[in-house]
């Protein structure tokens, strides 16, 4: 009975709330316009994704999801850039009662999962308004990306010769 009460109390102490979701920075470039529209649109899309978290106050975190999409005509290194989209989609989240490990997963996976649909819609809209075929980004598995990040950190720590006990 005491264990059940303790787990219920722990669950009640954990709180998560979205305080705000906003676009922090956004840009669209089409450096080879208008001539690019006269060429065959066989676009090669390169996607780069990262996120960053900042503590704003006790239990208040800003998470910024950064996405860069580069579309080039073909796969050659010197291929012309059709367009470049960059967005920093951000959110302010109240996260209370989580362990350090759980907090890392919240800001490294859960929050980016919430921000991604907003960034995806903004990117799609900008690309279409730029005169290019609609771009719908596939869903991303932020849980797997966060796990890869943790594995890279562990590998770097192991390679540096640090011992863990």
Residue pair 120/134 in contact (Cβ under 8 Å)? The answer is: no
The DSSP line for 17-43 is EEEEEEEEEEEEE-TTTTGGGGS---E
Pairwise CA distance, residues 133 & 69, whole Å? 14
pTM equals: 0.84
Domains and CATH numbers, the chain: 22-153 (3.10.420.10)
Give the closest residue to 127 by CA, choosing from 67, 77, 74, 63: 67
The strand order across the sheet containing 81-96 reads: 15-29, 81-96, 60-73, 43-57
What sign results for the dihedral spanned by CA atoms 134, 135, 138, 142? negative
Pairwise CA distance, residues 17 & 15, whole Å? 7
- Residue-wise pLDDT tens for the chain (165 aa)? 556 555 555 556 899 999 999 999 999 999 999 999 998 888 999 999 999 999 999 999 999 999 999 999 988 888 999 999 999 999 999 999 999 999 999 999 999 999 999 999 999 999 999 999 999 999 999 999 999 988 988 888 888 765 544
């Amino acid at each position: 009975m005491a264990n059940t009460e303790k787990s219920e109390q722990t669950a009640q102490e954990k709180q998560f709330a979205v305080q705000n979701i906003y676009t922090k920075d956004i840009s669209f470039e089409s450096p080879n316009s208008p001539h690019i529209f006269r060429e065959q649109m066989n676009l090669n899309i390169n996607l780069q994704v990262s996120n960053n978290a900042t503590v704003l106050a006790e239990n208040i975190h800003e998470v910024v999801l950064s996405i860069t999409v580069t579309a080039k005509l073909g796969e050659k290194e010197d291929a012309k850039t059709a367009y470049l989209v960059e967005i920093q989609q951000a959110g302010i989240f109240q996260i209370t009662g989580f362990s350090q490990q759980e907090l890392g997963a919240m800001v490294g996976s859960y929050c980016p999962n919430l921000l991604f649909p907003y960034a995806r819609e903004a990117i799609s809209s900008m690309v279409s308004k730029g005169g290019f075929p609609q771009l719908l980004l596939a869903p991303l598995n932020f849980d797997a990306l966060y796990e890869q990040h943790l594995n890279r950190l562990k590998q770097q720590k192991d390679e540096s010769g640090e011992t863990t006990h």
